[in-house]
Amino acid sequence: MAKKSTTEFVCQNCGATYMKWQGKCDSCGEWNTIVEEKQGGEGFSNLNTKSKGKMIDFVSLSGSSEALSRTHTNIKELDRVLGGGLVSGSAVLVGGDPGIGKSTLLLQLTASIANLPNNPQCYYISGEEAIDQVRLRAKRLGLENSPVHLASATDVKDIIATLEKSDASVVIIDSIQTMYLDGVESTPGSVSQVRACSYELIKLAKKKNFALFLVGHVTKQGSIAGPRVLEHMVDTVLYFEGERGHQFRILRAVKNRYGATDEIGVFEMQDQGLVEVENPSALFLAERQGNISGSCVFAGIEGSRPVLVEIQALVSPTSYSSPKRAVVGWDSNRLSMVLAVLEARCGLSLSSQDIYLNIAGGLKISEPAADLSVAMAIISSMTNKPLPPDMVIFGEIGLSGEIRAVNQPNLRLKEARKLGFNNAIMPASLKKDKKNTNYDISIHEIGNVQKLVNWFN
């Protein structure tokens, strides 16, 4: 009988495993990401097939269980993203591009919690930076007097032994890719190490009931480096995003077992660290210049709150054999769809035009409700006719050219009104909502993309 192999080949990008080496990962399509790794190790309790399993007890769904204990971090934007505060015993993965501000955010978070009146014990363990570097940052942020326990360590066994004896409330591991467990025979940052270290740390967090934050690096493709499995192991996954050169940073929940996803927190990176932005719409529209063709304002919803952003399009005759399409902040497939609908239903000829689309301010939008604003920005640029500067637009476009209703139109209108907009183009709603008229904003309902072109005549 063949001896059970003790090594496996693991894709460092997505975590897929293979029996033998191959150049390309079938699962994620990346080249040269598959690396040989030793299996198992002390990090994982191997199933002992000889001992019999115990019986498990089943209970009913009803019954008393402890209410979640949430700590308010004093950083409102962060509390919002976490679903209303930090849950004890939860594991949170924070991903983001290099230098985006992960360490800054988490240092501010620990300091903020450590300063709460009930004296929660906060531990900041850096595997990436030396003590002095973290101290320098703390000094720059004016946090050097906060009662945070700081250490520079990478051996998970030591970390666990130390935390076992502590009464930690919050533990930060910066970053999980620098941690290693002795029993696992592969380099720090490899899929097996990341998985094993996270497993042990999360187990301890549940046992000792502290909130655990793991910092995770992000690959070029924008997913957290190493195993996708890490995202399954934790309770909450937060992405810290932002465009280089912009001050704005957006913290987004992409998974949350204790709250809604797609909730965002908006920060501004300043010398003294990250500052909360209370009114993101005003910030995103700050640099807008009215009366310019190709620009329009989209009234969007991010999580539970409305956010107005400027959408900019530039359409110009192409000098290539196939026209260029470049998108920043939106889905390029979605753009292709909108363009196809405009060509097919409005008779616009776009195949000889380069099209650039930009969401101003560095926000990434995933809502289909932006379709209509994108279409309007494109037509406005093509015809070189500006839209009224006090107009917001939202609506989803279907393949037959129909404009579909989107969720929470009232919230969008209310925010628009608050920021001084007087006109709104939106889907024609079948059920007339009387409340709409209360916002003191003129509503122009559109049922089909064919009507869009009329706006520019």
Binding site for Zn ion (CB under 5 A): 11, 13-14, 16, 25, 27-28
Smallest distance from the beta carbon of 30 to ligand ATP, in angstroms? 21
Partner that binds at residue 271, options Mg ion, Zn ion, ligand ATP, none, CB closer than 5 to 8 Å by kind: ligand ATP
Q: What is the DSSP letter of 165?
A: T
Q: Which of 366, 334, 451, 356 is nearest to 401 (CA)?
A: 451
As a whole number of angstroms, the distance between CA 436 and CA 415 comes to 12
Closest among 130, 181, 122 to 152, alpha carbons compared: 130
Please choose which of Mg ion, ligand ATP, Zn ion, none residue 183 contacts, taking the beta carbon within 5 to 8 angstroms, the exact cut-off set by kind.
none
Distance separating alpha carbons of residues 214 and 237, to the nearest angstrom: 10
Q: How far is the CB of 95 from ligand ATP (least distance, A)?
A: 10
The binding site for ligand ATP (CB under 6 A) comprises 96, 98-104, 128, 140, 269, 271
Q: Closest approach of Cβ 22 to Zn ion, in Å?
A: 11
Question: Closest distance between Mg ion and the C-beta of residue 129, in Å?
Answer: 7
**In angstroms, what is the minimal distance from the CB of 26 to Zn ion?**
8
User: Buried b vs exposed e over 190-200: b needs ≥16 C-beta within 10 Å?
Assistant: bbbbbbbbbbb
Q: Which is nearer to Zn ion, 87 or 225 (CB)?
A: 225
Q: How far apart are CA 307 and CA 437, in angstroms?
A: 20
Cα separation, 376 vs 366, whole angstroms = 17
Which partner from the list Mg ion, ligand ATP, Zn ion, none does 108 bind, CB cut-off 5 to 8 Å by kind? Answer: none
Q: Which stretch binds Mg ion (CB under 5 A): 100-108, 230-238, 308-316, 422-430?
A: 100-108
Q: Rounded CA gap, 452 and 375, in Å? A: 8
CB of 128 to Mg ion, least distance (A): 6
Residue with tokens 């992960």: 102
CB 280 within 8 A of CB 307: yes
Both tokens of 359, joined, read 């969401």
Q: With the CA atoms of 76, 81, 82 and 86 taken in that order, what torsion angle do they form, in degrees rounded to the nearest 10?
A: -20
The residue among 283 and 406 lying less far from ligand ATP, judged by its C-beta, is 283
CB 83 within 8 A of CB 253: yes
Q: Nearer to ligand ATP by C-beta: 124 or 421? A: 124
Residue 95 in 3-state DSSP?
A: strand
Q: Select from Zn ion, ligand ATP, Mg ion, none the partner in contact with residue 100, using the beta carbon and a kind-dependent cut-off of 5 to 8 Å.
A: ligand ATP
Question: Residue 177 or residue 190: which is nearer to Mg ion going by CB?
Answer: 177
Record the tokens describing residue 239, joined without a space: 């992405």
**Shortest Å distance, C-beta 271 to ligand ATP:** 4
Is 46:184 a contact under the CB 8 Å cutoff? no
* Best CA proximity match to 392, nearest among 407, 370, 408: 370
Q: Among Zn ion, ligand ATP, Mg ion, none, what does residue 99 contact (CB within 5–8 Å per kind)?
A: ligand ATP
C-beta of 332: minimal distance to ligand ATP in Å? 26
Instruction: Output the residue with the shortest Cβ distance to Mg ion.
Output: 103
177 scored as a contact of Mg ion (CB under 5 A) = no
What's the CA gap between 274 and 81, in Å, rounded? 15
The CA–CA distances, whole Å, from 47 to 67, 118, 182, 185, 294 equal: 33, 42, 20, 19, 62
CB nearer Zn ion, residue 24 or residue 444: 24
Nearest approach, Cβ of residue 326 and ligand ATP (Å): 25
Residue whose CB is less far from Mg ion, 79 or 174: 174
Q: Which is nearer to Zn ion, 14 or 224 (CB)?
A: 14
Q: Is 103 in the site for Mg ion (CB under 5 A)?
A: yes
Residue 90 binds to Mg ion (criterion: CB under 5 A) = no
Contacts with Mg ion by CB under 5 A lie at 103
